[in-house]
Structure 1
């Protein structure tokens, strides 16, 4: 560890015990937030005491994972960092961000959908879904709070990107200084371990995608489809037509998980996340997987502060194209449709936009524990 960072690390740990300064193979620091292991029943209405999939890597449970406190800033060294008050890096495809995080060493990776979902479900259960830059420098529900704009970056004369972590406390995932910043708005964030292939849902099981030796590429053999009847994972047929697996259908202007697709279009369409349903063909075990990965609402979960509308977040998708990969969180102009449950499965992995970036994460792989 570089000696000149010792005092900084001590200060971070003292002020925020759940935060740490983590160092990569170049001995360069990033600030990350530790998310400790929890069970499905801790965040969903289920009675299942199974561990949430984000805490299972290569068949072994981990104590938790380190989630980037800030959206990624990538440097000319070819590595992604989680640092405050920076302009988050944008305008690169998914595989570019994967390369930037994987280069940092074993355990480093672009944030996985399983990890993002775990944090989102924790927020929802605890009634603290964060606000953020979804309205040109402000949250759509706020009038006076605003973050520090990135100089020279505007959208039709209005604020676009803001500097990482410079918003008010409600912009952190838990409403505190030790939380994760900017999961609602600012820029969309690429996630790994999830995709649609011609409308068929495919995942890299549990949080195996966090092991950066496991390929997240389009041709990876790690991809699995989900049997709707019992939630078992099977090798997909490569055409999006695997028999009996979960697929994304469009029914009465909302998304519905089913085993067949009656309404497919090679274009991006949207609907409120809260309105996403599962057809009768999808059994309880498969629905639990969908809910655990923040792919459909848990309508049975109620309690103080729990928002049945899921913040008004929206779900975009293309259920006809060859491959579509996930962005999460929303951008600076998405308004109430942005948030921790906001999901875009309408973009190819080659996509590159000024409103799209990434976030790094770290796990201590089970073999090293």
Structure 2
């Protein structure tokens, strides 16, 4: 089995070209995958409303990590493995469990970019004053229509027909998370991305602690015993179905219940309960990307269906316009759903 972290000529050239931001890791079958090395950062350095300490993106099984590897590009499947490669059609039309399976087939340490990964990246972008654009209008940016990428169906940017996925990383630097040619591409638009480690069950928010969902051997099934609700008074992670757990509704003033109509702005989530969600619990919700970190996060949307288990998608797709973005959260599909506008991104845990 190849050693994932062995250096070779391709890796050396990529690291030299990107100043070490991007590297190449190898899968069980020896296939290359282009990965961004995200350095650890602190909660308080993003915003005081997140508390103190290491951001949960970098905490796995109680251990703080110095960095996290995230696919530079949405994943594509080659020989039964999920790879991050430039200039290809992102894989789509697979359900959650299928994407998780091909990501874990890469070998130990591999999996999907998680809900907490997307949250950490969105927090970093917001704190750095740049929210990336992307394929949000059939191959172009809805906000700056001169920004285009190569459509996989061969059609012209802006033509409102066809499956307007764009080839990975084929957009401009403004479609990268750090506004440079070497940043993480396509976090806004193109395809929605499955993001394990969080779910909505009969309107109750449930999470897996910290970034434990990144661990390649962890149980992410619907029946996993690792799922925890969030106590609306204390912010503690508690058993699903516990009294005072935080829920989501489309209207009303129920206790410990956030309110956002489906398709509305994520930034507009309200906390109108007769007994509102406490400040301590809001802090926890922010850390899991379930409440706005602050003002000025754009018009990114939140969608939800409040029955059964709904597994999150992040980022938006090619026709979501202003509702796509790094904070966009879709909680309307079951884990069995698939579509031509839904993909996923590989990640690696050290």
Aligned length: 341
Aligned twin of 2:48: 45
Matches within 5 A, 1:164-243: 164-237=168-241, 242-243=242-243
**Deviation readout 1:264-295 (Å, 9 max, x if unpaired):** 9xxx9221111013345312221111112221
Aligned twin of 1:121: 123
What is the TM-score when the length of structure 1 is the normalising length? Answer: 0.88
How much has 1:153 moved relative to structure 2? 7.2
Question: What is the rounded CA distance, in whole Å, between the counterparts of 2:174 and 2:131 in structure 1?
Answer: 9
Matches within 5 A, 1:91-106: 91-106=93-108
- 5+ long unaligned stretches in structure 2: none
- Does the 8 A contact of 1:68 with 1:360 survive in 2? yes
| Residue 259 (structure 1) aligned with residue 256 (structure 2) | yes
Question: What is the rounded CA distance, in whole Å, between the counterparts of 2:161 and 2:262 in structure 1?
Answer: 28
Question: What is the rounded CA distance, in whole Å, between the counterparts of 2:197 and 2:269 in structure 1?
Answer: 21
**3-state DSSP of counterpart to 1:201:** strand
Aligned twin of 1:277: 270
**3-state DSSP of counterpart to 1:115:** helix
Among 56, 59, 66, the alignment partner of 1:56 is 59
RMSD over aligned CA atoms reads 2.1
Question: What is the rounded CA distance, in whole Å, between the counterparts of 1:47 and 1:79 in structure 2?
Answer: 36
How much has 1:156 moved relative to structure 2? 5.0
How much has 1:105 moved relative to structure 2? 1.4
Among 133, 147, 150, the alignment partner of 2:149 is 147
Distance change in 2, residues 1:49/1:309 (3 Å): closer
Aligned twin of 1:367: none
**3-state DSSP of counterpart to 1:310:** coil
- Does the 8 A contact of 2:257 with 2:276 survive in 1? no
Question: What is the rounded CA distance, in whole Å, between the counterparts of 1:190 and 1:87 in structure 2?
Answer: 17
How much has 1:7 moved relative to structure 2? 2.1
How much has 1:260 moved relative to structure 2? 5.1
**Deviation readout 1:33-92 (Å, 9 max, x if unpaired):** 1111111111123373221111110111111210110000012x2110000000001001
- 5+ long unaligned stretches in structure 1: 300-307, 365-369
**3-state DSSP of counterpart to 2:267:** helix
- Does the 8 A contact of 2:51 with 2:283 survive in 1? no
**3-state DSSP of counterpart to 1:136:** coil
**3-state DSSP of counterpart to 2:312:** strand
- Does the 8 A contact of 2:208 with 2:228 survive in 1? yes
What is the TM-score when the length of structure 2 is the normalising length? Answer: 0.92
- Does the 8 A contact of 1:137 with 1:159 survive in 2? no
Distance change in 2, residues 1:107/1:47 (3 Å): closer
- Does the 8 A contact of 1:247 with 1:257 survive in 2? no
Question: What is the rounded CA distance, in whole Å, between the counterparts of 1:257 and 1:80 in structure 2?
Answer: 42
Aligned twin of 1:318: 305
How much has 1:337 moved relative to structure 2? 0.6
Question: What is the rounded CA distance, in whole Å, between the counterparts of 1:215 and 1:61 in structure 2?
Answer: 21
- Greater displacement, 141-150 / 127-136: 141-150
**3-state DSSP of counterpart to 1:109:** strand
- Does the 8 A contact of 2:75 with 2:82 survive in 1? yes
Question: What is the rounded CA distance, in whole Å, between the counterparts of 1:361 and 1:229 in structure 2?
Answer: 34
How much has 1:144 moved relative to structure 2? 1.7
Aligned twin of 1:108: 110
- Greater displacement, 142-151 / 275-284: 275-284
